[in-house]
Amino acid sequence: MLMHVINIGHDVLKANDKLAEKNKKFLEKNGVFAINIMGAIGSGKTTLIEKAVTKLGEKFRIAVIAGDVVADMDAGRIAKLGVTTIPVNTGRECHLDAKLVEKALKSIDLKNVDLLLMENVGNLICPADYRLGEHMRVVVVSVTEGDDIVLKHPVIFKTADLAVIHKKDLAEAVFASAEKMEHDVRELNATIPILKTSIHDSVSMEQWFSMISTSVESLKKG
Amino acid sequence: MHEYSLACNIIEHVISVAELNNAKAVNTITIGVGKLTLVNPDQILFCLEALTADTIAQGTEFVLLDIFPDMECECGYSGNSEHLLKDSGRYMNDIMAFLEIPCPTCGKIMHELGGRDLVIQSIDIEQ
């Protein structure tokens, strides 16, 4: 009998990062700007995507990847707006990963897309560990989740490029403070842009659209 | 709760390396877990044990090692979080603690370098 130690050094999470980098290069080759939209169940991700698709559809050619554990309701809602929508069922998984996105990209005509919106599975924990190949990571959090939700999930706010504190019009009804949430995000991430939004406040919706629009255009300019 | 799929990736990789090396059994699997990885060690251990049943790695010993990220400050100071946290007396399983380590030189909050690892470091096989 021979005993033998084999050094491996294989990082299963970095394997995902590598694939994500490949996805990103592939998207860039096709001139596509990709956004990973993360947030809890019911935070308002799908609604924010619907609004963005409706408004920015005049300006950009948009495709959407809608991640869900089993159902395809979100994809159905977005597809009604007339954009290419790929439902991705993760099965038992709590997040999208680079492999699922690589597969979904094969069914999108990327040459005719400027902006790809990827709606992650509703969850503030697992998506933080997985890059997909995105240029921008957006975390959506609603005041109805309770205003201590930000500090309970520090990693996702540290690694995001934009924080959206949504449903701000409901704050009073649920005894939450959007300002406290904004302060907590700022504590965790000194440079992240923060939007406080509500679909009933058109000024805040314009800020959401313009944040996306500016980012897409900055990629186009190189 | 992605411990199960990560455990699948680990066991798949371990078994393929073990088979390439004509292993009859795998005695030990050593895995490094970054302190900022959102993986629960007890859950991943449970999945790993379940997945090795009826394979050449059945009954293997799993060794999970903590990987403490290095920290760096804009003032130029750098050091490992393990020592920095020990000195500060903070609870080391709290992810927040790693995001709030003040620089011993200038007092600013430092940035972590890495710490999001989940790496199969080595396996000990019988040939």
Q: Does the structure show a pLDDT above 90 at A69?
A: no
- Phi-psi region at A33: left, alpha or beta (left = phi > 0; alpha = psi -120 to 50): beta
Q: Report which DSSP code applies to A79.
A: H
DSSP 8-state code for residue A129: G
Task: Read off the pLDDT of residues A71-97 as tens digits, 9 standing for 90 and up.
Answer: 778 888 998 999 999 999 877 778 899
Spatial distance between the Cα atoms of A76 and B125, rounded to a whole number of angstroms = 51
What integer pLDDT is reported at residue A86 of this predicted model? 93
Chain B residues within 8 A of A92 when measuring between CB atoms: 4-5
pLDDT of residue A222: 64
Cβ contact (<8 Å) for B38 and A125?
Answer: yes
**What is the per-residue pLDDT across A11-38, written as a single tens digit (0 to 9) for each?**
998 989 999 999 999 999 999 999 999 9
CATH of B2-67+115-126, one of 3.40.190.10, 3.40.33.10, 3.30.40.230, 3.30.2320.50: 3.30.2320.50
User: Rounded CA gap, A128 and B8, in Å?
Assistant: 20
Which neighbouring-strand residues pair with A119? A37, A66
Side-chain-side CA neighbours of residue B83 (13 Å) = 7
Confirm if B9 and A12 have CB atoms less than 8 A apart. yes
Q: B116 near A129, Cβ under 8 Å?
A: yes
Tell me the residues of chain A between 144 and 173 that have a Cβ less than 8 Å away from chain B: 151, 154-155, 158
Angle formed at CA A127 by CA A74 and CA A67, multiple of 5 degrees: 20
In this predicted structure, what is the pLDDT of residue B8? 93
Nearest chain A CA: its distance from B35 CA (Å): 12
Which tokens hold the place of A166?
A: 């949504």
Query: Can you give the residue ranges of every domain in chain B?
Result: 2-67+115-126, 70-113
What are the pLDDT digits (tens) for B47-56? 999 999 999 9
Question: Is B4 close to A92, i.e. CB distance below 8 A?
Answer: yes
* A108/A85 Cα distance (integer angstroms): 9
Q: For residue A121, what is the DSSP state?
A: P
The Cα A125–Cα A113 span in angstroms is 30
Distance, in Å, from the CA atom of B58 to the CA atom of B56, rounded to the nearest integer, reads: 6
Query: CA A78 to CA A87: how far, in whole Å?
Result: 10
- What is the residue type of A222? G
Q: Does A12 contact chain B (CB < 8 Å)? A: yes
What pLDDT does residue B81 have?
93
Worst-scoring range by mean pLDDT, A80-89, A192-201, A203-212? A80-89
Instruction: Note whether A57 contacts B: Cβ–Cβ < 8 A.
Output: no
**pLDDT surpasses 80 at B93:** no
